[in-house]
């Protein structure tokens, strides 16, 4: 298990990409190349995607723990998902550094709810990643997704929702069918009301709805923010202002690996105008609180 006393930080947002050198679905290489262009990062170009083992080695070398997950978006993208069980198994092999999350398309209803419960009870999964734009749903659509969210709440796990614009499909014809409207964080206000005891994490600064996200995070005690997907030097001024003040205990370090590396994120974070007393909260202490871990591990 992760020794939280020893790690210097907890990256709350890393992706388990498909294993290298496997047969990919039609259009997948173009999708990854588009992501690489958007983030100005070679990951994804010419098959250069890190495996979960690669990710563990990278983070172990830097003494940073990492929350890691695949994304189940088969229904909208046609790309086969990376098995939750396989990712959880790889996390178990690297449990000194990796914290297993999973992903279930909420449209799977009762079958998805059973998968959530099984992954938590048999594989030790700590939370679930949802991507409203990639999975094609409004988070507050009770009929479409509440059966799966109810299972998450019953199991006492964390839910992490993509918010705001996405690099997925950016610059591609028709945006690869991705609809940005689903990822307005205001829809998660309803989720926070309906599941008041379920920890909810808003992923990314929620552009162009940053202020809506900040409002939801401030108003609802069970809502947190991960700061992934953007270099800190590009954070909106109001986002930094809230992180330095009323939301200082709700902000979580996240990189969006492999699109953005923690090396880059942390270097830019060091140069950004965050208060000295706030930095350790963002890098580690807030994540410990939401993960329910004692400071002594």
In whole angstroms, give the CA distance from residue 157 to residue 200: 9
Average pLDDT, the chain: 89
Residue 278: CB partners within 8 Å, gap ≥ 6?
243, 244, 248, 251
258-272 pLDDT, tens digit per residue, is 889 999 999 999 999
**Please, are residues 70 and 16 in contact by the beta-carbon 8 Å criterion?**
yes
pLDDT in tens, 213-260: 999 999 999 999 999 999 999 999 999 999 999 999 999 999 999 889
Q: What is the pLDDT of residues 107-121, one digit of tens each?
A: 999 999 999 999 999
What are the tokens at 119?
């992954």
pTM listed for this prediction? 0.89
Give domain limits for the chain.
9-291
User: In this structure, which topology does domain 9-291 adopt according to CATH?
Assistant: TIM Barrel (3.20.20)
> Is 293 in contact with 1 (CB distance < 8 Å)?
no
């Amino acid at each position: 298990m992760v020794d939280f006393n020893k790690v210097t930080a907890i990256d709350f947002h890393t992706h388990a990409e498909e294993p290298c050198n496997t047969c990919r679905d039609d259009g997948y290489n173009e999708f990854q190349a588009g992501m690489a262009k958007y983030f100005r990062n070679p990951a994804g170009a010419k098959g250069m995607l890190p495996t979960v083992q690669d990710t563990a080695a990278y983070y172990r070398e830097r003494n940073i723990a990492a929350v890691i997950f695949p994304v189940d978006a088969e229904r909208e993208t046609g790309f086969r998902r990376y098995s939750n069980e396989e990712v959880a198994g790889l996390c178990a092999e690297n449990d000194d550094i990796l914290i297993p999350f999973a992903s279930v398309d909420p449209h799977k209803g009762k079958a998805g709810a059973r998968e959530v419960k099984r992954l938590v009870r048999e594989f030790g999964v700590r939370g679930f990643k949802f991507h409203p734009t990639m999975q094609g749903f409004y988070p507050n659509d009770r009929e479409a997704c509440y059966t799966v969210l109810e299972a998450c709440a019953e199991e006492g796990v964390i839910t992490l929702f993509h918010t705001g614009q996405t690099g997925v499909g950016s610059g591609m014809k028709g945006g690869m069918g991705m609809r940005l409207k689903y990822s307005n964080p205001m829809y998660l206000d309803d989720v926070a009301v309906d599941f008041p005891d379920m920890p909810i994490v808003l992923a990314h600064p929620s552009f162009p709805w940053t202020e809506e996200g900040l409002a939801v995070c401030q108003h609802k005690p069970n809502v947190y923010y991960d700061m992934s997907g953007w270099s800190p030097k590009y954070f909106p001024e109001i986002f930094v202002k809230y992180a330095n003040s009323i939301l200082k205990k709700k902000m979580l370090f996240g990189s969006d690996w492999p699109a953005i590396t923690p090396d880059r994120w942390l270097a830019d974070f060091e140069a950004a105008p965050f208060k000295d007393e706030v930095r350790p909260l963002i890098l580690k202490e807030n994540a410990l609180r939401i993960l329910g871990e004692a400071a002594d591990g």
